[in-house]
């Protein structure tokens, strides 16, 4: 009897996966906080969020939608502010966990600011 290795690839490999478990934060009128934004960086896989929280210039309540297990980049907001545009850096991939924390996974990917 011979053993033949079988290699399989997930049918949705490379496609963005959306978890069906979505928790909404308390409703907040975001228009009152125009200085809040979700930082993003480009990667080979497309646009990725930086961290799991909105960044606000002024003090503001927590705003946004929490999607458990969403992929994120574990990069500090200060690091993103100091990045040069279109220069490739190595960013650590992570997963959004409870408390809107980007839990780093020890996997690196090229990232850049546009």
Does any domain span residue 25?
no
Does any domain span residue 12?
no
Does any domain span residue 78?
yes
Does any domain span residue 43?
yes
Residue 78 belongs to domain with CATH number: 2.30.130.100
Does any domain span residue 61?
yes
Does any domain span residue 49?
yes
Per-residue pLDDT averaged across 18-34, rounded?
47
Does any domain span residue 9?
no
Choose between 31 and 51: higher pLDDT.
51
Q: What is the pLDDT of residues 61-81, one digit of tens each?
A: 555 556 678 999 999 989 999
Q: What is the pLDDT of residues 43-56, one digit of tens each?
A: 999 999 999 887 77
**Residue 50, domain extent:** 34-112
**CA dihedral sign, ordered 87, 75, 114, 47:** positive
Number of domains in the chain: 1
């Amino acid at each position: 009897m011979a053993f033949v290795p079988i290699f399989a690839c997930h049918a949705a490999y490379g496609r963005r996966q959306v978890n069906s478990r979505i928790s909404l934060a308390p409703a907040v009128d975001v228009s009152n906080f125009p200085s809040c934004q979700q930082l993003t960086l480009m990667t080979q896989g497309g646009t990725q969020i930086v961290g799991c929280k909105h960044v606000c210039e002024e003090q503001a309540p927590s705003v946004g939608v929490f999607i458990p297990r969403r992929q994120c980049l574990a990069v500090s907001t200060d690091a993103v502010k100091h990045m040069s545009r279109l220069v490739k850096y190595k960013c650590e991939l992570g997963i959004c966990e409870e408390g809107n924390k980007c839990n780093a996974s020890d996997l690196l990917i090229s990232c850049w600011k546009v």
